[in-house]
Amino acid sequence: MIRKNYQRIVLRSLLIGGALFIVAFLFMQFVTTQEDTEEAVEVVADLANLPPPPPVDPSEPPPPPPPPAPPPPKVATIRFVEMEVVTAEEAVEPVTRVEETENKQIAMETQEGEETAVDLGLPESAPSVLSEGKGEEEQPFVAVEQMPEFPGGIAELGKYLQKNLRYPAQARNQNIQGKVFVSFVVGADGTIKDVTIAKGIGYGCDEEAKRVVSSMPKWKAGRQSGRSVPVRYSLPISFTLASQ
């Protein structure tokens, strides 16, 4: 049977193989033709037809600033150093004596300049508030011709405060700092009396400041019209914790 159909089988195989070869060849030709016929796309920027940039409006230069005003003439001032209470020893800045403030204004710094006369508005003869026969005390003055002075001056007052003031433990533990303004009267005999706290910060600082001021020795009394008079005095005391 196989020998009888051998020629037919071989012929059929050749026909099928030839057909497959022709189909593959035609497919390859078709693909190659498509690639050759595709046109490349090119993007060209037409720089010649770009619109011109918008015109720039010329602006006038800004006017020059006005010249600065001349500084006012400096006025001679004296910087008063406030007493500070600290928990550690620190250098004490030189303080100013009251006599050095004559014809000068009180300020936060010392500078040279034109001296100015300070009018305290005091009458030529200070009126006395003593009543005849009753022996009542004279009311304290606020400003007099010669202000009262701590023994040895302001420098000694600073040393006294630094030596005797103690930072309250309650204020130190709560990190309380600030100024206590103590008001007191320097009597005609120089004694310290009527000590009050004008403005405090609490936490024991007010009581400590009042205690130390009350225990101060006698001052040199203030004088008005050639006689000793009581004077109301205000002393700011700063409580400051030393930096850690």
Core vs surface per residue 219-232: b (16+ CB within 10 A) or e: bbbbbbeeebbbbb
pLDDT value of residue 37: 54
Count of domains for the chain = 1
Judging by DSSP bridges, how do beta strands 77-79 and 105-107 pair with one another?
A: parallel
- Kindly state whether residue 224 falls inside one of the protein's structural domains: yes
Distance from the Cα of residue 59 to its chain's centroid: 41
Q: What are phi and psi of 105, to 5 degrees?
A: -90, 150
pLDDT value of position 214: 96
The per-residue pLDDT for 221 is: 95
Q: Mean pLDDT in each 10-residue stretch from start to end of the chain (244 residues)?
A: 69 81 80 59 51 62 74 48 49 45 47 41 37 59 94 93 93 93 96 96 95 96 95 93 70
**Residue 48 belongs to a domain:** no
d(CA 223, CA 188) in angstroms, rounded, equals: 8
> Structural domain of residue 207, as residue ranges?
77-119+139-240
In a domain, 18, yes or no: no
Does 26 reside within a domain? no
Answer yes or no: is 6 within a domain. no
Would you say residue 159 lies in a domain?
Answer: yes
Pairwise CA distance, residues 69 & 59, whole Å? 29
What pLDDT is attached to residue 53? 60
Contact 89, 163 (CB under 8 A): no
The reported pLDDT for the residue numbered 196 is 96
User: Is there a domain that residue 57 lies in?
Assistant: no
Using a cut of 0.75, tell me whether the model's pTM lies above it.
no
